Amino acid sequence: MRIQNLDQIKNYYQALLNRDEAYVGIFYVGVITTGVFCISICRARKPKPENVEFYSTFKDALNAGYRPCKICRPTENANEAPKQVTAAIELVRSHPKQKISDDQLQQLGFSPEQIRRWFKKHYGMTFQTFQRMYRINTAFQELKHGKTATDTAFDSSYESLSGFGYTFKKVMGRSPAQSLENNVITINRFTTPLSPMFVGATEQGVCLLEFVDRRMLETEFNDLQRHLNSPIVTGENEHTKQARQELEEYFAGIRKQFTVALHTPGTAFQTQVWNVLKQIPYGETTSYQSQAERVGNPKAVRAVAAANGGNRVSIIIPCHRVIGKNGTLTGYGGGLDRKHWLLEHERRQR
């Protein structure tokens, strides 16, 4: 919503003048004279106080008609992890078998408390839980490729095989021996120009791509684990890495088709609807009515819309390209502002 409290506006304007990092993501400022909106650290020339409007979310700024500033990139950088959190994540990725303690973080000049708070807010877990899941996922991949549980346990910095087995079962829901024939859903978080997204993948392909603030996201996680009979574990695999790379190219305007493998469990009807979605050309739109006709049942408009809503792989399976019969934007889990942005982005790149 637009901020109306005068004291708050005065405080936010001063933070804008000071380029105060503490206010990144707290407010978004729309500049009336340029039509763009920014975050507190923007390096652009500061507007006069009578030429700004403050909003509590970037969606509100978009809805008010402002476009993201190309200098501070507010929809991306407002959700970027702080430098020490980014460094801590990179530490885990570069040393996936090591346990990183609070003492080690402090020796590097990091605040364990700040890192924990960020992870709790943005991942729903502590940093220790995040790295524990990363270690177990790395161990799981090694076990799948034939390494013994004993070698994997000690290589992963566990002091005993029993301790490794206990933690493995706590994360995976099964013992190491029982897990070898099962799948795991590897999930990772990354930023985009439209805010952060979660990408999840099994060994077969990407099964989840959603904005982190999507409604009912936790329900999607639970449904996906139930459908695939697999736990969700923080980490990366070849499919999550490829998806991130292809999404970066898509947002940069240099990719129009995706090649990453997909693993999308669903009913026969849902699968049929999603296949039709993938055939909608880049930069074009279709209606729910046309989509229903393409699946062979012109009266199944509501069922088609429901199947679109059940799509867990946004953008790659482009449900944003489906609009109302009268041309209006309707029904997008990521929000209509994002749907409008994606369609305009594709039109500009055609």
Q: Global pTM?
A: 0.70
Residue (of 177, 179, 96, 169) closest to 130 by Cα position: 96
Q: Where are the beta strands (DSSP E) in the chain?
A: 28-31, 36-38, 52-55, 67-68, 185-190, 197-201, 206-211, 232-234, 286-287, 322-323
* Distant-in-sequence, close-in-space partners of 106: CB < 8 Å, separation ≥ 6: 112
Each residue's pLDDT, cut to its tens digit, for the chain (350 residues) gives 899 989 889 999 999 999 887 677 778 999 999 999 999 889 999 999 999 999 988 888 988 999 999 999 887 766 667 788 888 988 988 888 888 889 999 999 988 888 888 887 777 778 888 888 888 888 888 888 888 888 888 888 888 888 888 888 888 877 887 777 778 899 988 888 777 889 999 999 999 999 887 777 878 888 888 888 888 888 889 999 999 999 999 988 899 999 999 999 999 999 999 999 999 999 999 999 999 999 998 889 999 999 999 999 999 999 999 998 888 888 787 877 788 889 988 988 87
pLDDT at 97: 86
319 in catalytic set: yes
CA separation, residue 171 to residues 163, 178, 217 (Å):
12, 13, 20
CA angle 190, 259, 275 (to 5 degrees): 100
Residue 232, token pair as written in the block: 């969700």
| DSSP β-bridge partners for residue 206 | 201, 262
Give the per-residue pLDDT at 27: 87
Q: Provide the pLDDT for residue 229.
A: 85
| Tokens representing residue 123 in the block | 């991942």
| Helices of type H across 145-183 | 149-155, 161-172, 176-179
Q: How far apart are CA 265 and CA 259, in angstroms?
A: 18
Of the candidates 69, 72, 207, 319, the residue annotated as catalytic is 319
Question: Using CB atoms within 10 A of its CB, is residue 339 exposed (0-12), middle (13-18) or buried (19+)?
Answer: buried
- CA 123 vs. chain centroid, Å, equals 10
